[in-house]
């Protein structure tokens, strides 16, 4: 039976059958989000934490989940109170549980934001290249997606971003920092300028900080800007630094009334008791879970250095991945790496690929194979 291609996209036959269904007109011709899920030894394409969950944290999570099973016949805490308290304590910045909201991954949190503040007849502004889910979330909520402009080097300045917000008057704007797929962080001047520019249109400003824990030392967070800015939202995730991509827990920090707005659109009991138990146990073991962040940053910086040595053009990265250009045929390089058992991400930008910073061994394998494909000296053996 014909179903899906290896990339996870529907086959031609499935698309034809889909087109016969009475789906919404604005969804016709759309494609779902989906990075290739292939069975290869080294997966460096979706920015997962490749170190996995440490043994002590696994033990604590297992115990918390086992304890939660006692009441699995009852609905979970609808307000996930203990989790919100734990997240507020982790973030600091004077935040309380009332400033926190959570969902099944940051994508659900972003979706709820659009359900509450966007929707039919409203607009959301993003600045591509950026996280590819933004237009899909807009489409799913009936929101018109506006594509803003970046500089030729994919950066975004305060003046440019603010001018676009004033001109387009979006109801919601997404600022991804560090940006995906480029890995570059925004200065707080950009966030402040965009927030001020959206005053007249009452634009809700969402700063997506999914990769914030991987930023270079001293990099500021938009969390510091929350006081006095009721339309500012900072979203985070436990998928990346906490190595909990499979647990699906995303969250936000904002003014208390933001959570009140999201309660109007969330599904009842949307966070399961097992999800809540897992996340709380992980936060209680944050030191253990975050211990690998510095090791990942070392490999991230190593990739940047070695790509430069190979004559390529990596972007500065404050994330756990590296976006790099200078490739004459990125599709051929992607295919060559895959043939060698290394899966990276083709983000559809001419001359560029993106690679997750993996373990030291995974990074060495990627660099060695890339050097071979480019016909250059193996950087793994020329490190100073």
- Exposed / middle / buried, residue 55 (Cβ in 10 Å: 0-12, 13-18, 19+): exposed
pLDDT per residue as tens digits for the range 225-243: 999 999 999 999 999 999 9
Q: State whether residue 354 is helix, strand or coil.
A: strand
- Report the range of poorest mean pLDDT among 318-327, 341-350, 372-381: 372-381
Q: Which domains does the chain have, with CATH numbers?
A: 33-53+291-381 (3.90.1150.10), 55-284 (3.40.640.10)
What's the rounded Cα separation, in Å, for the pair 92 and 98? 13
Q: Say what the pLDDT of residue 381 is.
A: 39
Q: Say what the pLDDT of residue 1 is.
A: 41
Q: Say what the pLDDT of residue 140 is.
A: 94
| Mean pLDDT, the chain, integer | 93
pLDDT per residue as tens digits for the range 281-294: 999 999 999 999 99
HSE-CB for 28 with a 13 A CA cutoff: 9
The first and second tokens of residue 81, run together, are 């109170």
- Exposed / middle / buried, residue 363 (Cβ in 10 Å: 0-12, 13-18, 19+): buried
Task: Give the start-end residues of each E strand in the chain.
Answer: 42-43, 100-103, 123-126, 144-147, 172-176, 204-208, 232-237, 250-254, 313-314, 321-325, 342-343, 353-356
What's the rounded Cα separation, in Å, for the pair 355 and 333? 12
Over the range 258-293, which residues count as b (16 or more CB within 10 Å of their CB) and which as e? bbebbeeebeeeebbbbbbbbbbbbbbbbebbbebb
Cβ-based neighbour number of residue 179 at 10 Å: 27
The percent of residues above 70 in pLDDT, for the chain, comes to 94
Q: Say what the pLDDT of residue 34 is.
A: 63
Q: Residue 267 — very low, low, confident or very high, per pLDDT cuts 50/70/90? A: very high
Q: Is the pLDDT of residue 327 over 70?
A: yes
Positive/negative CA dihedral, 138, 143, 149, 155: negative
């Amino acid at each position: 039976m014909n179903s899906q291609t290896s990339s996870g996209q529907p086959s031609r036959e499935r698309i034809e059958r889909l087109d016969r269904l009475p789906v919404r007109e604005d969804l016709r011709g759309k494609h779902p989000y989906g990075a290739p899920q292939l069975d290869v030894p080294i997966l460096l394409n979706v920015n997962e934490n490749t170190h996995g969950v440490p043994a002590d944290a696994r033990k604590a999570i297992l115990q918390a989940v086992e304890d939660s099973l006692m009441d699995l016949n009852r609905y979970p805490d609808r307000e996930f109170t203990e989790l919100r308290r734990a997240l507020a304590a982790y973030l600091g910045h004077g935040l309380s549980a009332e400033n926190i909201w959570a969902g099944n991954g940051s994508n659900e949190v972003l979706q709820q934001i659009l359900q509450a503040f966007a929707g039919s007849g409203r607009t959301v502004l993003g600045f591509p290249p950026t996280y590819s889910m933004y237009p899909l979330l807009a489409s799913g909520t009936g929101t018109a997606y506006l594509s803003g402009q970046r500089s030729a080097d994919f950066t975004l300045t305060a003046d440019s971003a603010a001018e676009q917000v004033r001109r387009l008057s979006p109801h919601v704007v997404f600022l991804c920092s560090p940006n995906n797929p480029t890995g570059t962080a925004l200065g707080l001047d950009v966030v402040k300028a965009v927030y001020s520019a959206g005053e007249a249109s009452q634009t809700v400003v969402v700063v997506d900080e999914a990769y914030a824990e991987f930023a270079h030392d001293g990099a500021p967070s938009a969390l510091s800007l929350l006081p006095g800015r009721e339309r500012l939202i900072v979203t985070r995730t436990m998928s990346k630094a906490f190595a909990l991509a499979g647990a699906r827990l995303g969250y936000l920090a904002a003014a208390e009334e933001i959570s009140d707005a999201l309660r109007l659109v969330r599904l009842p009991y949307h966070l399961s008791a097992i999800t809540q138990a897992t996340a709380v146990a992980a936060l209680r073991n944050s030191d253990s879970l975050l211990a690998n962040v510095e090791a990942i940053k070392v490999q991230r910086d190593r990739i940047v250095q070695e790509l430069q040595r190979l004559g390529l053009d990596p972007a500065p990265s404050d994330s756990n991945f590296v976006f790099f250009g200078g490739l004459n045929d990125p599709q051929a390089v992607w295919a060559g790496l895959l043939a060698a058992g290394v899966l990276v991400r083709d983000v559809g930008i001419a001359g560029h690929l993106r690679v997750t910073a993996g373990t030291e061994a995974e990074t060495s394998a990627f660099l060695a194979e890339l050097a071979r494909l480019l016909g250059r000296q193996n950087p793994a053996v020329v490190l100073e």
